[in-house]
Each structure stands twice: as structure tokens, then as C-alpha cells.
Structure 1
Amino acid sequence: MTAAVVLARSVRAEGVRLGGGRGLLLRVALPLGLALPVCITLAVGAVSEKLHGTDSLLRVRQVPTSNSVYWLVYLGVTVFAVLAAYAQGSATRGPGAEAARHAAPRPFTGMLGRWILVGAASASGMLLCGFLLMVALPVLFPGVYGQVDVVSADGVRLLWALPAYAFLASGIGVAVGALVPWPAAAVAALTLWALFIENASVMLPGGGDLIGWMPFLNGIYASGQDIALSPSWGRDGALAYVAVVMAVLLAAGWARLRHERSR
């Protein structure tokens, strides 16, 4: 059996485990990773448009294209990465661990299968929702999002770099799930790191330099989102940096699982 066939079987097995009406993709990732960011964006747009159209002292500035899908970049990508961490952790611990081991006897094949499935779902979801938001926002809320242009340089950047970052972030999630031996702990660690620790690191001594090495912030910067981060390697270099971090973490996670199975 060739490696490609084994990998395809692993992806299909993960599709059965995570997909379907009771799977985590439909019950968790789609509502929290896609629907929730879209709803928040539309709600913020509606409130901002109302404030923009009144004669109150509070005025709302126009939102540029680079900030138009803020909640997808920050929240949506993180949700899929956390799902990937849980999927990996629950494949090595818990009631489904034995079935997962039979579906993918080699740890690295199972890890790749989970990354491909969750990463593809995340990337395609970000592409679709990002495109729809950048088309709909200037029509629905012209006073606030009138500058948003899906075919501008920033819009095109978001359409390809955001899915790429989402795919890589899912790989980081799988790696964390392999490194941390308990699914709940992996979910907590990744959520805290992505949403709180990276942003709070700027308050540490030397945090201004430290923040430039944070993988999720580099991914956000690489996607085209406006952010208070400007590493010397630029946006494409930031995306490459995220890929390197993901590869190192995946290798470390694979080594830990291999050592665990050999005992």
C-alpha cells in the first residue's frame, strides 16, 4: 500500500470521526469558527453604521479593507486550530483512541490526516466567508465599510494569505495536541496562548522584541490584517516563519507519540 493511499485513508477516517451531523466540524467549528465571526462582524457593522449616520459627538472612522475581516482572522482561525488540537488529543486518549490507532497505525500519518482535513475545512471556510464579507460589507454599511474592496491589493492578499495562515494554524493545533497528552489541556493551552499570552507578552521586559517571534501574531500579520507588528522579514516572511514553527512542532509531537508507542 503506497503512502498516498495510506494518507488518503487517514483523511477519510478523520472525515468520518469529525464530520457528519454529530461531528465536531459541524457542531463546533462551523458555528464558532465561521458563523460567529461573521455575525459579530455584521453586528459591529450595523451598530457602527447607525452611529455614523447620527449627529452625535461619537463618530466612526471608515474601516479599510485590511481590517474588514478582523474577527475571522483573530477568532475563526483560532477555533479551527483548537479543534485540530482536540482532534489529535482525543485520537491518542479517550474512547476513540484505539479505533484511531487502527485507522492510522503510524502516528505521523494520523497527524497528517487530521491536519489536512481540519486545515482544508478552515482554509476553505476562511476563503468563502472572507470573500462574502468583503463583497457584502460595503453594500450593507457604506458609511463605515465603503472603502472595502475585494479586488484591491489588500483584498487579494486576504483571499489567499488568510486561508494559507488558517491551514498552517491547524497544523500547529495538531502539533500541540500531540505534544500535550490530555485533550482538555491541549485545548486550554492553545486557546490561552493564541488569544491571551501572545498579546500580553508585549508587557514583559523586552516584550517589544519578543512579540515579533509569536507565531499566531506573525500569521495574523501575514494574512494582511493591520496589526501593531512589523517584523523585518515582511508579510511573506512572516507566513514562512509560521510554516517553520509548525514543522518544528509537528516533528516534536510526532517524536513524542512515537516514543510513547514504543514503550
Structure 2
Amino acid sequence: MSAMPIALLITTAATGAVGVAVLRSIMVLRRQVAALHTELAGSCAATRAHVPSARAADTDEIRAAVADALAEERERELAEARAFWAAQESRDASDAPSLLGLADSELFLPRQTDFVGLEPVTEPGADADEHSGDSPELAAARRRHPSHPDFVPNSSPVVNDHERTVAALEELAASRTELTDVRPGPLGTLDVYVFADGTTLCMTPGHRETAERLAAALCAGETPFLLGGSGISGAYTLTFSCGEENVYILADRVIASL
């Protein structure tokens, strides 16, 4: 008998033994799992038996109990509030000052002897009676002095520059006064226009293109003159006649000097 069949027999026997052992282990595990399932089912049944079933509660009783609890809480809060305000009022009454904002111990009432040595108060007419013998010029001088009760400061006259400027523009336009000189300001800050009667118009901000155009007309022998000018919303509009064309200028401020 050769060695190969013997090896096969041994391998087959070993495999069969291993299979039998595995089957026995599986059967043992199955029994244990079944026992565990049975134990768990019994414990769940016992737990359900110990838990009492929910009883049906009366809705009206619950509402009544809640209302009573809320009423008691409200009464307690009101009682605490009354006690607090009563204590606060008593504290304020004890801390309140007496007559004239002073405590009774600090109140001072003057006596008759405290007025000894004080000069009597003079009436307003006493000063007038004292200087009743002065001359009219001296009395007028006293009234002009700032220390006199009847002194009234003289109000300085207010000059309306806007109305004066508008009047000067209207006069220049009505008389058709010729423009004799134009002086453009640096960087368009201020332009000066001089007329034949000596009137000078200072305009700001300057308009360099318009000023150069009028200056070129003067150099060419033309005689520009003012057609009209008016003040609109704080600004001024001027219209010059330059040959066959009209030149318009809009300035924020115009000052007319004679």
C-alpha cells in the first residue's frame, strides 16, 4: 500500500473530526441564544406587569388646581408689593426736609438785633431827586452815559449791500455807461470791471473766458456796455453788449464801488 492513499485517509478523517466539532459548537450556541431569548421575554413581561397603567385624569380638577395655584401666587405678589411701597413711603417721609429745605436744627430766623448797622435801601427815585438841580445839558449828558438807567444805545444804520448793488447795476444799464477796463483775477477768483464814470464792479467767482473776451473787445476798439443786471436767489446775472453779440455773466457775489 502506497503512502498517498494513507495521507488522503488521514486528511479526510481530520476534516471530518473538525466538521463534527464545529457542528457541536453551533448547536451549543443555538441553545444558549434560545435560552437568552426566553430569559429576555420573561423579564419584559415582568416589567410590564410592574408598571401601572395610566389612569384617566379629570380635566376639570386639573384646571381648578391650576387656577387656585395662580390665584395664590398673585395674592402673594400683591402682598409683597404693598409691603415694599409702605416701607418706601415711610422711608421718604422720614428723609423729607422741613421748612425751606432745612432740617429743624438748621433753620435760622433772624432777630431784630441782626439788622443793626445795615443801611436802608434807597428807592429808585432817590437818584433823580439828588440830581434835580442839575442843568438840562448835564442831565442829558447823564442820560447818555452807559451807567444811567435811561441809557439807550444808538443803533447803527444797516446798509443793504444787495439793494445798493442792484441799484448801481440798473443805473449803469440805464445810462449805457461804457466799460473802460477789465482785470481778470488769478485762477478765476475775482474779476474787476471798471466803467467810464468810475464805477467798479468786483465779481466772484471770476469767469476768465468772459473777462478775456471783453478785454479783447476793448483792445479792438469796441465799447462794451452793460445792458442789464439783476439779483436772483442771492446771485447776480449781468448782460454786456459787445458789438453785435451779447455776453452773459453769472456771479455769486457782486460788489459795486463808486
TM-score (norm 1): 0.16
Higher strand fraction: Structure 1 or Structure 2? 2
Q: Which has the higher contact order (CA 8 A, sep 6+)?
A: 1
